[in-house]
Chains A and B, each alone.
Chain A
Amino acid sequence: MSAIGPPVGALELVVTIVAAWVALGALGLVRPHSLRFVSRLIFPAGACVALLLTVIAFLSLDAPPQSLVMPLGLPDLPFHVRLDPLSAFFLLLIGAASFGVSLFSAGYFRASEGTPPGLICFQYHVFLAAMASVVVADDAYAFMVAWEAMALASYFLVTTEHRIPEIRRAGFLYLLIAHIGAIAILLCFGVLQAGGDDYTFDTMRNMTLIGAWPTAAYFLALVGFGAKAGLLPLHVWLPEAHPAAPSPVSALMSGVMLKTAIYGLLRVTFDLMHVQLWWWGVVALALGVVTALFGVIYAAVQTDMKRLLAYSSVENIGIIVAGFGLTILFRAYGKNLLAAITLTAVLYHALNHAFFKTLLFLVTGSVLHATKERSLGKLGGLIHRMPWVAWLALVGTLAIAGLPPLNGFVSEWLLLQAFLFTPSLPQSFVNMLVPLAAAGVVLAVALAAYVMVKFYGVVFLGRPREAHLAYAHDAGRFERFGLVWLAAGCIALGILPVNVIQAIDPVNAMLLHSSAISAGGGNWLLLAPINADRSSYSPLIVLVVIIATVVLTMRIVHRFYHGRIRTAPPWDCGFPLQTPRMQDSAEGFGQPIRQVFEPFFRIERHLPTSFDAAPRYFVRIGDPFWSWIFLPIAHAAEFAARIVGLIQQGRISVYLTYSFFTLLALLFFVR
């Protein structure tokens, strides 16, 4: 694919890029309160570095693995780094998405009460550098250091507005769950290392785990990376942390950071371990489908736009993990070709999600800046005030809704194709189960489209629900650049699926020793996973047909009805007074879903009666996992703390008695 060949010393360049990001961040600390310096100089420079990373990663996708031992780390415990197709793919994802986000950030950050801009800049670039380090780390030690640096940097970014108590709480929740995950990952590496000489991934690759140990390692990885990715039931931090964080940070966390967890899952399951059991795949598949459905149903009833997108991220991660489970399933039964197709779909969807979710989060940032509103109930009609943002958001919305010819369609279509191949599996139980999962995924995808119509319709269409929305301004120059880049990515990934799949293919070759392209009868125009007779998709033809249809329709309409338009007041149902607040609201839009899936929600609803002088209506929809899992744990911890508190009497003589009796007991037993 790359005619130029892999760049010489690509890994050295990647390491240099990581160092450059850290250095740029540190430069921001020189003048922490100068917004101009940070936003006009450092963020664009960081974006250029990101672009460079994208190019290098793209060129080294099909290069042979390179590794390096860094002169960093503890004595006798240096950092190992390695660049192989899997890391290159995720580096590409990080670089491409963060290029857009960095450009956007250059115009986004304003002086505020919270963290000064220079410090934000430092945390932001350390965050980028840590994410890049995670995917090139080649030993458990370097991996954990990068992983923790990533968690901490993002924690500080989430709590940018740290003077607000809710935001501090959201940050704490995020940090807590990140650390639960980190512990599981650490244990997972401990299991994988299996008493080897050191903690490099090479040692782990050469280890053969026996008995229940591979299963233990797999499930520890699933919990650890699942906590970061937002798998049920550890997804609770997403809807809290994303609204709390500044929009570029939510964009990076949702679009890019969640993917590092997917990277970790793939790395541990397919690279570091040699055996995959079929029922691991079933567990991941079930978990993924449940997560996807849960995420999308909750996204449908949200009234805060960033919370909505956070739940939508949960849904997308669910779809990705379902695909991951299916890959394991195929792999366990030795169907490497099908596994390769599924893995392609997983990686493709990860890349797509990085583009469209980042785009949409950045859009919410622009809307937030323009209107100071996050609640969907107070927005509306912004397409007239913010045409740039609105049209670019439309691209992202259509992409995430999975409509051709944009990118969301391609990966979801590929994944469903993979699901349809399951009847070739030898086990009838799985053959019965997987179509159910496929139905679940389809339902999630369809509901996602519904959610996105709600998001776009309520924010940009209709009439402004509040008076001050009339003063909303469009995004600035840098913000537009960032949004255009991401929207262009969505379109390009949708139009050129064959090229993208060819580019991803070295990852298949590395992880599964199989290629997804070889079997397909497709060419550059036609995407055909197995053979062209069975199913194929050509985005260019779809695009041409769509454009042709639209143009033709417009022509015809123009021709036959031209000049016959007359304006008249619409019928107002006999009710003369109409305000913009009477439009369909976000709650109203989500209401059918709320009705259908009522048993899954914890709804707290206040309905006014006919006699209320000041009628009020509110609905609060809580996450049931709080009361199912987290509150019982919290209560148990409080109870245990109270028991321990009993021995705290606050009297010196009692404390002395404790040590006295301890001394006596020790003397008695030791003698």
Chain B
Amino acid sequence: MAGVPLYAQFINLLAAILLLLAFAMLAQRRVLTLIDLFAAQGLALAISTGVVAYGTSQPHLYFSTVLTFALKVILLPWILHRLIRRLDVRWEFEGLINIPTTMLIGIVLVVFSFNLALPISQLASTVTRSTLGIAMASVMLSFLMMITRRKAIPQVIGFLAMENGLFFAATSATYGMPMVVELGIALDVLVGMLILGVFFFQIREQFDSLDLRHLEKLKEPDQ
């Protein structure tokens, strides 16, 4: 690691934390802790964006940092907390697959992602290119979380965490997307969150529960 500047090493550290948090979310059963982990992931993301901005002197990335912090560390966790209080769903929940198996599948995914990112990161010219594999792995892990969870709220958190991974990939591999795109995505996530919040209330009103198994009744019966 001799030729690598300090900030890049710092980013690598943050990337590792991000991946670790992704695994933690995959293993977490309590919904409130899950939200805290999500906020922590957002914090790591915001810090890493700030570091990239400082290290590579990209002033527009500072805006991204502020935006990420405001949205993912403060606003979204606050909305989620509020939702849970309003809906009164502080339960622990079971996944479809038990946690150790999920973790094993997650490890396979990480290996796959690193394998996948290898040729791309060799092409990239940025100092932070090695983090691309991690970014992709955290996208995959969030996707896996969405698949294995049965309740609506963890699925939404998985969806938001997926966006975290994508954002990290964008900053680490290419020094961030254009400002317009970033703003657009931020707005999308916020609006998506609000709409899903409305849906939660609707689903609960219909089925008295947020368990998505009830939605299976909507399928056409077999002849």
Q: Is B181 an interface residue (CB 8 A)?
A: no
B36 to chain A, nearest CB (A): 24
Question: What does the 1/0 interface line of A635-671 toward B look like (CB < 8 Å)?
Answer: 0000000000100111111001100100110011001
Chain B residues with CB under 8 A of A649: 216, 219
Question: What does the 1/0 interface line of B177-220 toward A look like (CB < 8 Å)?
Answer: 00000000000000000000000000000000000110111111
Contact between chains at B112 and A653 (CB < 8 Å): no
User: Which of these, B96, B144, B155, B216, contacts A650 with CB under 8 Å?
Assistant: B216
Chain B residues with CB under 8 A of A652: 155, 212, 215
Identify which of residues 125-165 in chain B touch chain A, using a CB-to-CB cut-off of 8 Å.
Answer: 140, 143-144, 146-150, 155
Total interface residues on B, CB under 8 Å, equals 22
Chain A residues with CB under 8 A of B217: 650
Question: What does the 1/0 interface line of B104-130 toward A look like (CB < 8 Å)?
Answer: 000000001000100110000000000
A645 to chain B, nearest CB (A): 8
Total interface residues on A, CB under 8 Å, equals 15
A321 to chain B, nearest CB (A): 42
Contact between chains at A668 and B116 (CB < 8 Å): yes
B152 to chain A, nearest CB (A): 9
Contact between chains at B146 and A656 (CB < 8 Å): yes
Residue among A645, A651, A652, A660 with most chain B CB within 10 A: A652
Contact between chains at A657 and B147 (CB < 8 Å): yes
Please report the C-alpha to C-alpha distance between residue A651 and residue B219 in the assembled complex, in whole angstroms: 9
A143 to chain B, nearest CB (A): 41
Q: Is the interface of A mostly helix, strand, loop or mixed?
A: helix
Q: Which residue of A lies closest to B212 (CB)?
A: A652
Do A664 and B112 form a contact, CB below 8 Å, given A650-B218, A671-B119? yes
Chain A residues with CB under 8 A of B147: 653, 656-657, 660
Q: Which residue of B lies closest to A638 (CB)?
A: B223
Contact between chains at B148 and A653 (CB < 8 Å): yes
Do A650 and B143 form a contact, CB below 8 Å, given A667-B116, A668-B116? no
Contact between chains at A650 and B219 (CB < 8 Å): yes
B222 to chain A, nearest CB (A): 8
Contact between chains at B219 and A660 (CB < 8 Å): no
Contact between chains at B143 and A656 (CB < 8 Å): yes
Please report the C-alpha to C-alpha distance between residue A497 and residue B120 in the assembled complex, in whole angstroms: 83
Q: Which residue of A lies closest to B112 (CB)?
A: A664
B55 to chain A, nearest CB (A): 28
Identify which of residues 4-53 in chain B touch chain A, using a CB-to-CB cut-off of 8 Å.
Answer: none
Do A671 and B144 form a contact, CB below 8 Å, given A648-B219, A652-B212, A653-B96? no
A643 to chain B, nearest CB (A): 13
Please report the C-alpha to C-alpha distance between residue A660 and residue B141 in the assembled complex, in whole angstroms: 11
Contact between chains at A651 and B216 (CB < 8 Å): yes
Contact between chains at A653 and B218 (CB < 8 Å): no
Q: Which residue of A lies closest to B148 (CB)?
A: A653
Chain A residues with CB under 8 A of B140: 664
B145 to chain A, nearest CB (A): 10
Interface residues of A (CB under 8 A from B): 645, 648-653, 656-657, 660, 663-664, 667-668, 671
Interface residues of B (CB under 8 A from A): 96, 112, 116, 119-120, 140, 143-144, 146-150, 155, 212-213, 215-220
Q: Given contacts A645-B220, A650-B215, A653-B148, could you give 19 more A-B pairs where the C-beta distance is less than 8 Å?
A: A648-B219, A649-B219, A650-B217, A651-B212, A651-B213, A651-B215, A652-B212, A652-B215, A653-B146, A653-B147, A653-B150, A653-B212, A656-B143, A657-B147, A660-B143, A660-B144, A663-B143, A667-B116, A671-B119
Leading 4 A-B pairs by shortest Cβ distance? A650-B219, A650-B216, A656-B147, A653-B147
